[in-house]
Structure 1
């Protein structure tokens, strides 16, 4: 057991994925330097029910100048963030001289729409490479980790914010108590903190265990977010289920008493209670289901190899590190991974060292089967790769179970 990073309660370990590398540490071939590994395990706080990793990876190892993920790489996500920006512009940012801060703005995919309307804004991101891309789009960016001191400095320089927003970022930050102290200093009295992250309810329901990796320190529920907010004088006032990234929830948090609590909050809390999302037995059952997926996936890939079939993977995602390392998938079972990110091409996947090749390698010589690591973009990818199916290719998926389509 260990101490909860939110409330100091006891955290009981429930699921262990074993030895894992940094999910985005793609290696140069023949690199003989020591590879960083840590133990990936998930526990549940006995007090506030926050699901969290049992071991922290130093933030500088994950988020740095060469961080390879670009939010704008997906058509679906570009549309999602444009709609998010327009929603803010029509609501929270419609008053006189509004100001919005985005934690983890990445390549500016959301803020560029805000910037185009001349609205005061600031993105905060520790990864210099993606921050430069955002600046090239006209987005104001501060290259830093967001924490209490950062928030106070922003407030002193720019004044209070009407909205602080984050997408797929807050679950990355173990020191959320510092974040909330910063929000207290930065937000207008009537301001809101809006963040969206992978939802534990969807992860359990779909057995999407690859949503658990080094960057995703927390796995949120409405119950745990409400408890966290209340510790700092805030209240969870709204929730919205989102279909992106395999299932997320957008949480809206405001100062206690400043806004009414939407009925959607109580509805989701009731659903979570009925499903036992705050109960250790639920996560233990999830762990058993994950172990079955590992058995089935390795058996399928081994059988295909024995039949002389060619299998490659599609999408060198961060979450694929969990699948590949937990299941022991190396070049003996998966020939290569096709990915559109130039920074990953020509490198090897973390831990398992499967070669990463550009999409041309996939298209020029279609394999028999493609293991879809980027399953959360399945519809978009399968529409794009129709010639693969037309040539007789089959997709292998492992969420919610192992199946071939």
Structure 2
């Protein structure tokens, strides 16, 4: 694996600080009868000292990740449905205030956010390249275009629908290596006072929690306020607001506007100062993170092997995209996990990418509770714990690996 690559933001030098080895596509759940060769790529993460951006060293072609069979549905979590309903209300009240406002969402998935916008009677458009989830959104009355957003598509939208008051993206912008084309497209599409609002996993939380499974094929960038502010300036935008979110294990919501069009909030300056004080991307912090990752991985495998040797039944809970990283990096397969349960029908009956652990429905979990469950969907821990009281009452115990390996 190469030690350096070229930065996608400033064309500076990106230096590797952690390497997770060969990894499969995180959402490529396999049919057990499929004998074709599985696709793997090198998952290494680097930092650009020129613009402070944390990014993958190798980009996976977007068509391999986001396609008609993409199995993730944003509406699957009660917590996330509530989050997106609240978000829609805020976007409408704060930015859709003109005579005929227009809201665009990048990576609109199954329409969970835009459904509220549509019900409010506001013009909207979801950009969603994955046909299966786009069709679900249409069934909710959401207008969707099956395409990737970039400068060319932005110009087409502008011609057809006119300029947008707000463009929103949730857990999508960090997926896009070609941010130059996206930001150029936003410069064309947004009204002069328009905003780009996006929320993605926060590298500050990744460092603090050692949540190394936030790195996988879809998460090309891990942002900080510092790196986003620098990126924005390069493309004629300013970071005008930043907000902490508890979703997905710790995220930041960033708001960009054209340079000089909006006054940055005090939260921007405070967050930039906090990041400078913490030294999130200093060489020492990055080395310490890599050391914690290796130590946590070793402890997790040791715990699972000990339980197996004691004859305990151990399963995985949540066939998440991020679980591909932990299972493959740690070498956790069907010898250590009996199965992984998940509520997504498209994943059931298949095998986890690379590690080939059977994925089963949630009913398998409740029919005969195991002794232990590895919480792969740790970012939904509160929701899961409230739901699975029967497992706890039956004597079941949870295995956590973020921020450290522990059994509760």
TM, length-normalised to structure 1: 0.99
Query: Once the 2 structures are TM-superposed, how far is the Cα of residue 30 of structure 1 from its aligned partner?
Result: 2.6
Q: Which residue of 2 aligns with 1:249?
A: 252
- Map of 2:356 onto structure 1: 353
Q: CA deviation at 1:278?
A: 2.8
The residue number in structure 1 matching 2:289 is 286
**1:151 paired to 2:159:** no
Q: Does 1:175 align with 2:174?
A: no
After the TM superposition, which residues 202-217 of structure 1 pair with which residues of structure 2 at under 5 Å, given as runs?
202-217=205-220
Deviations 1:378-404 (A, max 9, x none): 111111111111000000000000001
Deviations 1:172-223, CA, capped at 9 Å, x for gaps: 0000000010001000000000000000000100111111100000000001
Is 1:393 matched up with 2:399?
Answer: no
Tell me by how many angstroms 1:281 deviates.
2.4
Match of 1:193 among 193, 196, 219: 196
Please give the alpha-carbon distance, in whole angstroms, between the structure 1 residues aligned to 2:104 and 2:352. Answer: 34
Q: Which aligned runs of 4 or more in structure 1 are off by greater than 2 angstroms?
A: none
Q: Matches of 2:390 and 2:52 in 1, distance apart?
A: 47
TM-score (norm 2): 0.99
d(CA) in 1 for partners of 2:259, 2:253: 18
The alignment partner of 1:341 has SS state of coil
1:22 and 2:34 are equivalent in the alignment: no
How far residue 94 of structure 1 moved from its aligned partner, in angstroms, is 2.3
Distance 1:194 1:26 in 2: 31
Q: 1:372 aligns with which of 365, 375, 399?
A: 375
| 1:67 corresponding residue in structure 2 | 70
Residue number in structure 1 paired with 2:225:
222
Q: Counterpart of 2:266? A: 263
Partner Cα distance (1:391, 1:264) in 2: 46
1:231 is matched with 234
- CA separation in 1, counterparts of 2:167 and 2:66? 20
- SS of alignment partner, residue 288 of structure 1: helix
Distance 1:140 1:20 in 2: 35
Where structure 2 has 5 or more consecutive residues not aligned to the other structure, the ranges are: none
CA offset digits 1:16-43 (Å, max 9, x no partner): 0111000000000031100000110100
Counterparts of 1:245 and 1:180, CA distance in 2: 24
Give the corresponding residue for 2:134.
Answer: 131
Residue 335 of structure 1, aligned match among 338, 360, 382: 338
CA distance in 1, matches of 2:93, 2:9: 34
Tell me by how many angstroms 1:46 deviates: 1.5
Q: Aligned pair count?
A: 405
Q: Distance in 2 between matches of 1:263 and 1:254?
A: 15
Q: 1:109 corresponds to which residue?
A: 112
Aligned to 1:322: 325
Tell me the distance in 1 between the aligned counterparts of 2:38 and 2:91: 42
Which SS does the other structure have where 1:2 is aligned? strand
Does residue 299 of structure 2 align to residue 310 of structure 1?
no
Q: CA–CA distance in 2 between the matches of 1:204 and 1:369?
A: 27
> Structure 1 CA distance, aligned partners of 2:403 and 2:292?
9
The equivalent of 2:16 in structure 1 is 13
> In the alignment, what sits opposite 2:48?
45
Cα contact 1:44–1:280 (8 A) shared by 2: no
1:240 aligns to 2:226 (yes or no)? no
Q: Distance in 2 between matches of 1:198 and 1:320?
A: 15
Structure 1 runs not aligned, ≥5 long: none
Partner deviation per Cα, 1:232-273 (whole Å, 9 max, x = no partner): 110000000000000000000000000001110111111111
Partners in 2 of 1:206 and 1:239 — Cα distance? 20
